[in-house]
């Protein structure tokens, strides 16, 4: 959680621990708990503690038992939309890597909240044909809303839903074997939302006989992911779509602001404006996007760490020592290279007004 000491130390002592290793003993005398998505926040962690404020520097909240927090009168805040631009950058990098002509095709977006909505607005400004499915929105918010069956017929499907198991529209295994079988024969499926929205076992069973392309940033049972599925997908990354420096800092800042509001005091100003832009050269949009972030490099990094025999995870019989997979997956996230969003870049030598307009839509400097 970048800048957590700088932002929170004016209010008390900041003590940090690895997110998956946090225990009730660590938090029993804390007043405030700040987490990201790898920490399960529930009764077993907080019972008997004096915590009165929980902040999660994340969009998703399925790792937090909000019902328990409400029962204990513990204030909760998260950071919706903090990394939306980062996820959009990730999706565009996947699109230009796997399907160079994607802008001439139809893009379906399942879930049009902070992230999916941002992606939709950018794609429509770029002139891309979109279909959207979100049962909680209406056409006055998203004009291109269609039925779930219709969105499945898109050439590209981008999943940006939260994970839910209850209510009228649960998303757990929304893409089960039956739904996956209905996808267009040459579809590109991108899941940068929550892993369990897609039935990973069903996807693995179907992939060998399909012409699909699949990019997964999120997986069921993280961090103990299924390596056979990683072998089958076209792009695999370790839940880092929203891991730009900007996105993570925005998350920290948003929960700091919520904390200050909860305390009834003013929110301090934080200057997050970009430094001197990084200069890149591009003749067309794909070059510009991939110059800022090439997802194929992250895919290769993950495969080398989890699939290569030299890692020691795969023995001479081809069997995988699954006990090491979670630690390697977490290490990939912890050592993720710095990534800057589009606003930190300036493109020189722009050859056309069209490219200039496209770069402006994405937020280039």
For the segment 265-316, what is each residue's pLDDT rounded down to a tens digit? Answer: 988 877 656 678 999 999 999 999 999 999 999 999 999 999 975 556 655 5
Q: Can you tell me the distance from the alpha carbon of 178 to that of 190, in angstroms, rounded to the nearest whole number?
A: 18
Check whether residue 9 and residue 92 sit in a common domain. Answer: no
At residue 320, does pLDDT exceed 60?
no
Check whether residue 177 and residue 286 sit in a common domain. Answer: no
Q: Which of 131, 239, 256, 339 is catalytic?
A: 239
State mean pLDDT over 134-150: 96
Choose among 324, 284, 289: nearest CA to 307. Answer: 324
Backbone dihedral angles phi then psi of residue 121, each to the nearest 5 degrees: -65, -40
Beta strands in the chain (DSSP E): 32-35, 53-56, 75-77, 106-110, 129-133, 156-159, 188-191, 213-216, 235-236, 278-281, 345-348
* Contact between residue 77 and residue 100 where contact means Cβ atoms under 8 Å apart: no
For residue 271, tell me if it sits in a domain.
no
Q: Which of 131, 160, 194, 339 is catalytic?
A: 194
Q: Which residue has the higher pLDDT, 157 or 268?
A: 157
Q: Which position has the token pair 């796997």?
A: 98
Check whether residue 92 and residue 227 sit in a common domain. Answer: yes
**Domain range spanning residue 305?**
278-362
pLDDT of residue 267: 86
Give the pairing of strands 129-133 and 188-191: unpaired
For the record, the structure tokens of 240 come out as 């880092």
pLDDT of residue 322: 57
For residue 119, tell me if it sits in a domain.
yes
At residue 185, does pLDDT exceed 70?
yes
Check whether residue 140 and residue 247 sit in a common domain. Answer: no
CB within 8 Å of 354: residues ≥ 6 apart: none
Choose among 333, 335, 310, 313: nearest CA to 322. Answer: 313
For residue 285, tell me if it sits in a domain.
yes
For the record, the structure tokens of 317 come out as 């019989």
Please give the tally of structural domains in the chain.
Answer: 3
Q: Any catalytic annotation for residue 222?
A: yes
Check whether residue 48 and residue 33 sit in a common domain. Answer: yes
CATH of the domain at 73: 3.40.50.720
At residue 220, does pLDDT exceed 70?
yes
| 109 three-class SS | strand
pLDDT > 90: percent of the chain? 85
Domain boundary among 236, 254, 288: 236
Check whether residue 190 and residue 326 sit in a common domain. Answer: no
For residue 191, tell me if it sits in a domain.
yes
Check whether residue 232 and residue 104 sit in a common domain. Answer: yes
pLDDT of residue 351: 78
Q: Which of 220, 222, 298, 341 is catalytic?
A: 222
Axis crossing angle, helix 285-292 with helix 353-362, rounded to the nearest 10: 30
Check whether residue 219 and residue 348 sit in a common domain. Answer: no
For residue 206, tell me if it sits in a domain.
yes
Global pTM?
Answer: 0.89
The average confidence (pLDDT) of the chain is 93
For residue 269, tell me if it sits in a domain.
no
For residue 268, tell me if it sits in a domain.
no
Check whether residue 190 and residue 97 sit in a common domain. Answer: yes
What would the pLDDT profile of 258-275 be if each residue is shown by its tens digit?
999 999 998 887 765 667
Check whether residue 229 and residue 255 sit in a common domain. Answer: no
Check whether residue 282 and residue 213 sit in a common domain. Answer: no
For the record, the structure tokens of 206 come out as 């179907």
Q: Any catalytic annotation for residue 344?
A: no
Q: Any catalytic annotation for residue 194?
A: yes
Check whether residue 248 and residue 307 sit in a common domain. Answer: no
What would the pLDDT profile of 78-126 be if each residue is shown by its tens digit?
999 999 999 999 999 999 999 999 999 999 999 999 999 999 999 999 9
Question: Which of the four pLDDT bands, split at 50, 70 and 90, describes residue 350?
Answer: confident
For residue 300, tell me if it sits in a domain.
yes
């Amino acid at each position: 959680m970048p800048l957590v000491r700088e932002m929170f130390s004016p209010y008390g002592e900041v003590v940090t621990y690895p997110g998956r290793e946090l225990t009730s003993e660590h938090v029993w005398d804390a007043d405030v708990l700040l987490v990201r998505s790898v920490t399960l926040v529930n009764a077993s962690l907080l019972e008997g503690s004096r915590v009165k404020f929980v902040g999660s520097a994340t969009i998703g909240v399925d790792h937090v038992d909000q019902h328990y927090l409400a029962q204990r009168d513990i204030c909760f805040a998260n950071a919706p939309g903090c990394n939306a631009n980062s996820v959009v950058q990730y999706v565009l990098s996947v699109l230009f890597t796997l399907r160079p002509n994607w802008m001439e095709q139809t893009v379906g977006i399942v879930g049009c909240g902070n992230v999916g909505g941002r992606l939709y607005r950018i794609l429509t400004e770029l002139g891309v044909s979109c279909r959207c499915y979100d049962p909680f929105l209406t056409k006055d918010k998203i004009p291109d809303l269609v039925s779930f069956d219709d969105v499945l017929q898109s050439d590209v499907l981008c999943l940006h839903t939260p994970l839910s198991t209850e209510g009228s529209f649960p998303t757990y295994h929304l893409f089960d074997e039956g739904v996956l079988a209905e996808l267009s024969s040459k579809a590109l499926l991108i899941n940068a939302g929550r892993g369990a929205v897609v039935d990973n076992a069903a996807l693995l069973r179907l992939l060998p006989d399909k012409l699909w392309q699949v990019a997964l940033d999120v997986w069921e049972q993280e961090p103990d992911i299924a390596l056979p599925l990683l072998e089958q997908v076209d792009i695999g990354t370790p839940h880092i779509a929203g891991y730009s420096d900007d996105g993570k800092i925005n998350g920290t800042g948003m929960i700091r602001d919520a904390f200050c509001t909860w305390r009834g005091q003013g929110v301090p100003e934080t200057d997050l404006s970009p430094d001197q832009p990084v200069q890149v050269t591009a003749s067309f949009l794909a070059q510009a996007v991939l110059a800022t972030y090439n997802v194929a490099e992250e895919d290769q990094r993950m495969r080398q760490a989890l699939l290569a025999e030299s890692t020691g995870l795969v023995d001479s019989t081809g069997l995988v020592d699954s006990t090491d997979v979670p630690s390697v997956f977490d290490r990939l996230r912890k050592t993720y290279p710095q990534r800057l969003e589009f606003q930190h870049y300036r493109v020189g030598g722009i050859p056309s007004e069209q490219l200039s307009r496209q770069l402006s839509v994405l937020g280039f400097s």
